[in-house]
Structure 1
Amino acid sequence: MPATRRHWPTGSSNRRAGTRLGSLWRPARRRSCCTSSQAPVSACCPEERVVFEDLFDAELAPMVRRMAERTREGETADGPQIRAMVWQALVRLGATRLRLPAASGGRSASQEDLVSAAEELGAALCQGPLLDTLTAVELLLAPGDDRLLDEVCGGAGVALAVRADGAASPSEPGEMVVAEGSGAGEITAERCFVGYASEVDHLVVAGRAAGDTRVALVSRAHPSVTLRRHQELGRGELWRVRCQATPVLAWLGGADEWAGVVAGARRRQAGYLVGLSQSALDLAVAHATRRRQFGQPIGRFQSLAFRLSELVARTDAARLLTRAAAAQADRGEDARLTAAQCLATAADLARVVTAAALQVHGAVGMTDDSDAQLCYCRAVIEALWWGTPTQLRAEAAPLLRAQLSA
């Protein structure tokens, strides 16, 4: 009998989870928050932190995981509405305002806090534009455009459009034509593999113009912006985006700013992959505990137990490396090297752990009804999002040589 696909939840427990998600989405009284700009999220806003974690608890995390799924056969009727509810719940819980100063209604979150938040997203396999939006907020903080910053933090999603082709590294954006005109000018560029472009309000387009790297913010809804969806098997959503003489809303920086943006995005992506790996590992351990053979759980067999123990140690190591990279950035040091190192480590880990989770599950793990195959499909895509491990190591090598020779 073919496995049934789960989309919108059914059953009494799932209905309760849906009700809880709806309660998070509806407006509620604003909680008080301390104004210390030095306190981390967990210390600054403990009540908000609890609610943010509650969105991805043991009951809701599997639900959110399936809510974000894009099917190979096409969009389901309730898919966009479900993902919009998840996005609005995240916005209401302050996820888009993490980097804002407390005086501006934000959380004054550190880089380590952002990595921790990304890890929670990865553990729930929550897909969407939140990580790109957080990157856009960091870019908008520099020029101090309060109108655009308030719009983005208020729920206007942003997607990063960087790659001109699939082989390019995000640290080296493709060519972009800039035409001076009314306002901030216009850009013409084509980018591929842009995540969730159909669900956002703005695009951050990075490119090289006249030998310099420039970063532009444009409206996704402008008639000059066209989208075409890529076909991919990762149960996500990737788009080819073409901007033809598209008006620029704001310029967000140059080469120096982009290098910092790439480093920060890589740290958060590493955190996401660590969370994804932990989720796949938890699924494998749970199955090894339930599945019995020869009168005992298969997790008691030494070959499997040793393999899972090894993956636990590797996951903890990747988590510590990612936190160390974030702490280095919080100290104001050059964190490009550690960002590349932690992402390369987390990317390798995600593919290894999710493949091992499939092996532990056996044939059932490859069915559409199993979350193990969903973790594996997403790991293949997410591991390459900000550069392949080969590209990351190639970029890290000169930085490491410079560090050793200093």
Structure 2
Amino acid sequence: MDLSISEEQDALQRSVRALCDDRFPTSAVRACEQNPAAVSAIYDDLFAMGLGGILIDENAGGLSLGLTEMVVTQMELGRALVPMLFAESTVLASGILAHSNDAAVRALLPQLASGEKRASCAWQEQGRPLPDNARATQLSDGGTLDGTKVLVADADMVDYLIVLASDTAGQNAWCLVARDAAGIERVDLPNMADLSMANVTFVQTPVLATIARGDAATAAWEQAQTAMKIAIAAQAVGGAEKALEITRDYACTRQQFGQPIGAFQSIAHYLADAAVNVEGARMLVYRAAAATDYGEPAKTWADLAKMKACQVYRDVSALAIQIHGGIGFTLEADPQLYYRRAKHLQLMYGDPLDLQERAGEALISGTHKVLEA
């Protein structure tokens, strides 16, 4: 399988990189850590380029492109440390909404594609990290929600929350809720990446619509979560690539004993190993995206890609701090920005142990055959 990107995909990647380099330097990253709403300017630019509709059907106001186009875009967003809401709304939330048979619900897709509206998913619960476990958040026959969701991204910056609940028959149900609906309480959640996260409690909160139930809800989640894992893996590759670049440049300019520290084998070998690992992670992410684009089962590819890419990101960003020496630990220097984001991505949408277990089960059972890849 040819995993090289096309000329059109390369042009897309270069366009997004130019935008992020111009409009979202690391000073903007720091501004967003202090005020999450400061990210709106770069989001407006991304939507103006039409990037919000990459995975949304053309009939729903999108571009009907593939996961490879999504990957090259998300790599650049990860490289620039753009916060997560763009992916949360245009990859995960739109992926779930696309499975609805309700015309009124599907009418939100053009608004997500254009950035007119934004949505975030509330699916995690304390002690229940996986959505196939029993849900403590309950959907009543009267169409109200009760329960608490944790680690909800950008809950204060969206128009809608897409909430996973259990209905009175015990089935999973995806529910559409207005962010400002009655009975919602949000508690900000500090996190290593200083991104906007919250625990959200629902008390008799009215539901606008039920997106999907039962098997349809499970299918919607599997497809949308697979795409989101690949998006996060792509961001991890982009972040690792940038962390490696700034570390290489520092090693080429920092002088010790009359020569650049990059001339010493102990540094050069570290950098060479990191470069190999970044490229390996990149190819795995492209392979995961290609599986979906070519109609192959992609769930395990997504697990493997996220596990590998996020580990590489964490390792490379830690190496960046080490090579920068004492300055690498300071908030004024950039390496810590990448390390903190790397650790955040590694724990979201499947921690390493969960991903290892899922991938191992698929390999042992024979449902994922690597040698046939």
TM-score using structure 1 length: 0.81
For residue 107 of structure 1, the aligned residue among 42, 48, 63 is 63
For residue 8 of structure 2, the aligned residue among 19, 33, 43 is 43
Query: Is the contact made by 1:273 and 1:382 (CA closer than 8 Å) also made in structure 2?
Result: yes
For residue 197 of structure 1, the aligned residue among 155, 158, 166 is 155
Q: What is the CA–CA distance in structure 2 between the aligned matches of 1:289 and 1:139, rounded to whole Å?
A: 47
1:186 paired residue number: 144
1:140 paired residue number: 97
Correspondence 1:337-376 to 2 at 5 A: 337-376=300-339
Q: What is the CA–CA distance in structure 1 between the aligned matches of 2:368 and 2:51, rounded to whole Å?
A: 40
Query: Is the contact made by 2:139 and 2:166 (CA closer than 8 Å) also made in structure 1?
Result: no
1:199 is paired with a residue of what secondary structure? coil
How far has the Cα of 1:272 moved from its partner? 1.0
Q: What is the CA–CA distance in structure 2 between the aligned matches of 1:375 and 1:257, rounded to whole Å?
A: 32
Query: Is the contact made by 1:44 and 1:107 (CA closer than 8 Å) also made in structure 2?
Result: no
Query: Is the contact made by 2:145 and 2:206 (CA closer than 8 Å) also made in structure 1?
Result: yes
Query: Is the contact made by 1:55 and 1:61 (CA closer than 8 Å) also made in structure 2?
Result: no
2:265 paired residue number: 302
Correspondence 1:5-404 to 2 at 5 A: 43=8, 51-57=15-21, 60-70=24-34, 75=35, 80=37, 82-102=38-58, 104-134=60-90, 135-143=92-100, 145-155=105-115, 156-165=117-126, 168-169=129-130, 172=133, 174-181=135-142, 185-209=143-167, 210-253=169-212, 254-403=217-366
2:191 is paired with a residue of what secondary structure? coil
Aligned residue type for 1:285: R
How far has the Cα of 1:248 moved from its partner? 2.1
1:56 is paired with a residue of what secondary structure? helix
Q: How many residues align?
A: 355
> How big is the alpha-carbon RMSD for the aligned residues of Structure 1 and Structure 2?
2.5
Query: Is the contact made by 1:235 and 1:374 (CA closer than 8 Å) also made in structure 2?
Result: no
Gaps of at least 5 residues in structure 2 are: none
Query: Is the contact made by 1:96 and 1:154 (CA closer than 8 Å) also made in structure 2?
Result: yes
How far has the Cα of 1:42 moved from its partner? 6.3
Query: Is the contact made by 2:182 and 2:206 (CA closer than 8 Å) also made in structure 1?
Result: no
Aligned residue type for 1:158: A
Aligned residue type for 2:112: V
Give the % identical residues.
27
Q: 1:171 to 1:53 in 2, by over 3 A?
A: farther
2:304 is paired with a residue of what secondary structure? helix
User: 1:10-68 CA deviation, whole Å, 9 max, x = no partner?
Assistant: xxxxxxxxxxxxxxxxxxxxxxxxxxxxxx9963895x765433212377443443343
Aligned residue type for 2:155: A
Aligned residue type for 1:111: L
How far has the Cα of 1:105 moved from its partner? 4.3
Aligned residue type for 2:191: E
Q: What is the CA–CA distance in structure 2 between the aligned matches of 1:85 and 1:59, rounded to whole Å?
A: 8
Q: What is the CA–CA distance in structure 2 between the aligned matches of 1:325 and 1:60, rounded to whole Å?
A: 28
Q: What is the CA–CA distance in structure 2 between the aligned matches of 1:404 and 1:108, rounded to whole Å?
A: 28
TM-score using structure 2 length: 0.87
Query: Is the contact made by 1:366 and 1:373 (CA closer than 8 Å) also made in structure 2?
Result: yes
2:306 is paired with a residue of what secondary structure? helix
Query: Is the contact made by 1:41 and 1:109 (CA closer than 8 Å) also made in structure 2?
Result: no
Aligned residue type for 2:41: M
Q: What is the CA–CA distance in structure 1 between the aligned matches of 2:242 and 2:351, rounded to whole Å?
A: 22
Query: Is the contact made by 2:24 and 2:82 (CA closer than 8 Å) also made in structure 1?
Result: no
Query: Is the contact made by 1:354 and 1:379 (CA closer than 8 Å) also made in structure 2?
Result: yes
Q: 1:41 to 1:236 in 2, by over 3 A?
A: farther
2:301 is paired with a residue of what secondary structure? helix
How far has the Cα of 1:337 moved from its partner? 0.9
Query: Is the contact made by 2:55 and 2:62 (CA closer than 8 Å) also made in structure 1?
Result: yes
Query: Is the contact made by 1:170 and 1:387 (CA closer than 8 Å) also made in structure 2?
Result: no
Q: What is the CA–CA distance in structure 2 between the aligned matches of 1:204 and 1:99, rounded to whole Å?
A: 18
Q: What is the CA–CA distance in structure 2 between the aligned matches of 1:237 and 1:404, rounded to whole Å?
A: 37
Q: 1:167 to 1:142 in 2, by over 3 A?
A: closer
Query: Is the contact made by 2:23 and 2:42 (CA closer than 8 Å) also made in structure 1?
Result: no
Query: Is the contact made by 1:219 and 1:249 (CA closer than 8 Å) also made in structure 2?
Result: yes
Gaps of at least 5 residues in structure 1 are: 1-39
Q: What is the CA–CA distance in structure 1 between the aligned matches of 2:6 and 2:209, rounded to whole Å?
A: 29
Q: What is the CA–CA distance in structure 1 between the aligned matches of 2:174 and 2:76, rounded to whole Å?
A: 29
How far has the Cα of 1:378 moved from its partner? 1.4
User: 1:145-179 CA deviation, whole Å, 9 max, x = no partner?
Assistant: 44222232232121121110267246657432111
